[in-house]
Chain A
Amino acid sequence: MTMLKPPANQTALITPAPAFEARDIVKHFDGVHALNGAHLSVQPGEIHALLGENGAGKSTLIKIATGLYSPNAGTLHRNGETVEFANVRMANRAGVVALYQELSIVPTISVAENILLGEQIPNRAGLVQWKTLRRRAKERLDSLHQKIPVSQLAGELSPVQQTMVAVARALAADARVLILDEPTASLTDTEIRDLFMVLRSLRDQGVAIIYVSHRLEEVFELCDRLTIMRNGETIVTKRVADSTINEVISTMVGRSTGELYPDRGTATATVALTVENLHGHRVRDISFTAHAGEVLGIGGLAGSGRSELLRILSGAQKHRSGEITVDGSALPNSPGVARTLDAGIALVPEERRSQGVILSASIQDNIALSNISAVSSLGFVSGGRIATIAQRGMAELQIKARSPRQHVGELSGGNQQKVVLAKMLARKPKVLLMDEPTRGIDVGTKAEIYRLIRHLAAEGTAVIAVSSELPELIGMSDRILIMHEGKISGEVAAEGADDELLLSYCYGKPE
């Protein structure tokens, strides 16, 4: 692979000037280089993937592109002209707009207000002209072929509708360079298809789209070209048609990953968990067993009750009726998290940053949190025992950190996820529940997590993992349960499972 510098002779080959270009960008924080010679060049009418592991510098580059940070060295160009963005407003005015995963809409105001946020609100003598406001907003949504009631509160919309509103707002601000950061993270497959349709039509209208994602399958489906970053540098830019997923992964990681998923074959016949006729919020009549040494995958569309099932099993959510039996002994009704943990069920929750770890606390305090009785006696905690348990966890899971006292907020996503795991594994659970075990984690660490899951299974743990990515579900599991509207709609052996069959179960259709 050759380094692609953006010298004049190469740009000359492509007829129009790039809609957006960043050249030789250097950015450091407190002397630490976040970017060290990053390039990005995006043509109008192109969907351009920006790829790299967490910490590779993608986010920093985007923040520089949108005026959040100013670079220590390097230049930005818009349609061939050098530009400088002192703040987000200036970038937006130049037509460069970024949509972030989480902060793109204001949930407490209406869709219409969201779309026209930041523009002059139509008013007469300070009174809002609601009719005009709604009409304009509707026009914007119509151009995206979206039917979203503009008077509704934005917070009441589904995730994909919220994304559409954010896109509509960007277009309302006349965005010509649209940056999307993990836009599909909380979307279901159909929603993703809708979004892609919109993005393609925008591309055809000449909008330059920078698409940041960890989901390589999507990138290969949607994007025209890709740029891969590693350690703050741009490694390569090439056409997607000329690349393969494996090649992209090894470029991102800087080495060959080998097989992403480890071998199966650890399942035993010993029943670790039995669930009978479980009913609860969004969960209807669920019965299944999980075996020691087995990785049981649970799939289904968002809202199918997958996460709720795990929350009930972990004691975090109450259920109405049904029996949960761990290792032969039945759990009491609505036992609470502490009791289920004692009984041997541990949960690695879906939202790592808001449910899994305390970002402001140290690694060792996070790990100690689920193990307070193990590190204390007579109500007093022992600093020594906390350190021991933390060091053991860090070593076992190969958590990369300066010390057990480092704050979790300073770690990469993958290492944060390992802290969550360390916390729960210190309890030596018989059943480990994992909700989206690799969400937002870079590819290199993903493989590590899969190996770890298999390793745990080999030690006799029953792992139950929810995932919305079918390849992951198939790759990591032994057996897959698919949920639809709160019920189990199908069960499939993972090995050699067929995507389409799984999808049809997801939509509740019988074979």
Chain B
Amino acid sequence: MIMTTTAQATKTAPTTTPARSIARLLLHGGTVFALLALIVFFFAMRPDVFLTFVNVKNILFQVSILAIIAGAQTVVMVVGDFDLSVGATSSLAGAVAASLMLTGVPIAIAITVALGVGLLVGLVNGILIAVVNLSAFVATLATMTSVVGLAYLVTAGTTLFDLPDGFNNLGQGRLLNIPLPVYFAIVISFILWGALRFTTIGRRWHAIGGNVEVSRLSGVNVRRARLLAFTIAGLVSAIGGILLAARLGSASAVQGGDNMMFSVAAVFLGMTVIKSGASNLGGTMIGVAIIGVMSNGLNILGVNAYVQQVVTGLIIIAAVTLSSLKTRQR
């Protein structure tokens, strides 16, 4: 028995009064509003620091890798699945690139192989979910476990370092005094946004996320589209992991593992930004920004790290609750 909750069909188109549209804006924009409120709050607390070039650059640098991994997560969540292995895949890719370079493999080849590894993990996820029909939760939980193990094997449990300067520059170099990962994050986000919005596969992903059965009966090759979504998520996660290794100048089996939870949180925050409540890249970036601004702002105010963690959770609950009000008011 299928239960679908939708607005009661009404023949008359709802009329919009100005007061109502402002209220709507507030509800729809709950998450955007939260971000603005945070920025205003931190700016008011430390006007001399918070919105300075150095600090804004700091925030961008700190969230750039999370932005990339959250982008990967967005693609999978548009299709209506999710991927618990993005963090682990990124760690593995960083570790593979680092270990190859340490054995003298040229940077370009090491990066290519690492990207290939990410692609492969994504492909395996895709096959398990789209072809073997495992649930995304089970499949990616399992691959996450194995991939972490592989990363331990690749790094032999240590932290790999002393990577070539050319490689480290990818993560630490600057252009116009702005760190390179910020550019990478922007470019990748734009590509993913465009792919989701303007390409046929992007529209298919949206349709599948809306309703798998309808999409199938409409002639969409659901299997291939889901497979591709997970593969791309693996590839993009690998880019994030490689940049993290370059940014830190080192690679370990666990680094960047926290990106998985934060990426899911960012996508969920982003889902509250638009009316349909679907995951969307613009929203995800707002979610990433909230997480980044929170962490940087609270650090600047010198708030205890444990308190920060509690507050971050509360902000997520608040933003999501605010937005869920809009669905309930019907």
Contact = CB atoms under 8 A, between A and B. Distances in A.
Interface of A: 29-32, 34, 54-55, 59-60, 102-103, 105, 107, 155, 231, 314, 316, 336-338, 341, 347, 349, 351, 353-361, 365, 368-370, 372-373, 376, 379-381, 400-402, 406-407, 409-413, 415-416, 423
Contact of A337 (B6, B211, B216): B216
Contacts of A337: 216-220
B27 to A, nearest CB: 12
Given A358-B214, A413-B9, 6 more contacts: A341-B219, A353-B2, A357-B214, A369-B218, A381-B200, A402-B13
Contact of A369 (B17, B215, B277, B278): B215
A359 B198 contact: no
A113 B209 CA distance: 34
A407 B276 CA distance: 9
Nearest to B15: A31
A380 B194 CA distance: 9
A330 B221 CA distance: 21
Contacts of B3: 102-103
Nearest to A427: B219
Contacts of B278: 360
A411 B9 contact: yes
19 contacts: A60-B8, A102-B2, A105-B1, A107-B1, A338-B219, A338-B221, A354-B2, A354-B213, A357-B211, A358-B211, A360-B210, A369-B203, A369-B218, A369-B220, A381-B198, A401-B13, A406-B13, A411-B9, A412-B9
Contacts of B216: 316, 337
A406 to B, nearest CB: 8
Contacts of A359: 4, 6, 210-211
A230 to B, nearest CB: 11
Contacts, number: 130
B214 A369 contact: yes
Interface string B188-225: 00000000001111111011001101111111110000
Interface in B209-253: 210-211, 213-221
A25 B14 CA distance: 20
Question: Which of B13, B214, B220 has the largest number of chain A CB atoms within 10 A?
Answer: B214
Interface in B92-147: none
B328 interface: no
A351 B4 CA distance: 12
A316 B214 CA distance: 11
B203 A365 contact: yes
Nearest to A231: B11
Question: Which of B2, B4, B11, B15 has the largest number of chain A CB atoms within 10 A?
Answer: B11
A412 B7 CA distance: 10
Given A32-B12, A341-B219, A365-B206, A351 B2 contact: yes
Contacts of A316: 216-217
Contacts of B215: 358, 369
Given A380-B198, A410-B9, A368 B203 contact: yes
Contact of A32 (B14, B211, B218, B277): B14
B232 to A, nearest CB: 14
Contact of B203 (A107, A357, A381): A381
A369 B207 contact: yes
- Interface size classification for chain B: 35 or more
Interface string B315-330: 0000000000000011
Contacts of B329: 30
B8 A361 contact: no
A231 B10 CA distance: 10
A103 B1 CA distance: 8
B6 A409 contact: yes
Question: Which of B12, B14, B218 has the largest number of chain A CB atoms within 10 A?
Answer: B218
B231 to A, nearest CB: 16
Nearest to A63: B8
Contacts of B219: 337-338, 341, 370
Contact of A31 (B11, B20, B206, B211): B20
B201 A379 contact: yes
A406 B14 CA distance: 11
Interface string B286-330: 000000000000000000000000000000000000000000011
A317 B144 CA distance: 34
B217 A372 contact: no
A107 B3 CA distance: 12
A29 B4 CA distance: 20
B330 to A, nearest CB: 7
A356 B11 contact: no
A378 to B, nearest CB: 9
Given A54-B9, A337-B219, A379-B200, A355 B14 contact: no
Contacts of A31: 14-15, 17, 20
A409 B7 contact: yes
A32 B10 contact: yes
Given A358-B210, A359-B211, A369-B218, A34 B10 contact: yes
Question: Which of B10, B198, B219, B276 has the largest number of chain A CB atoms within 10 A?
Answer: B219
B11 A400 contact: yes
A138 B196 CA distance: 55
A231 B198 CA distance: 41
A373 B221 CA distance: 13
B208 to A, nearest CB: 9
Contacts of B277: 360
A104 to B, nearest CB: 9
Contacts of A376: 199-200
B199 A381 contact: yes
A349 B2 CA distance: 15
B9 A365 contact: no
Q: Lowest 6 CB-CB distances: which A-B pairs, in order?
A: A358-B210, A409-B6, A412-B9, A338-B219, A55-B11, A370-B218
A380 B20 contact: no
A394 to B, nearest CB: 14
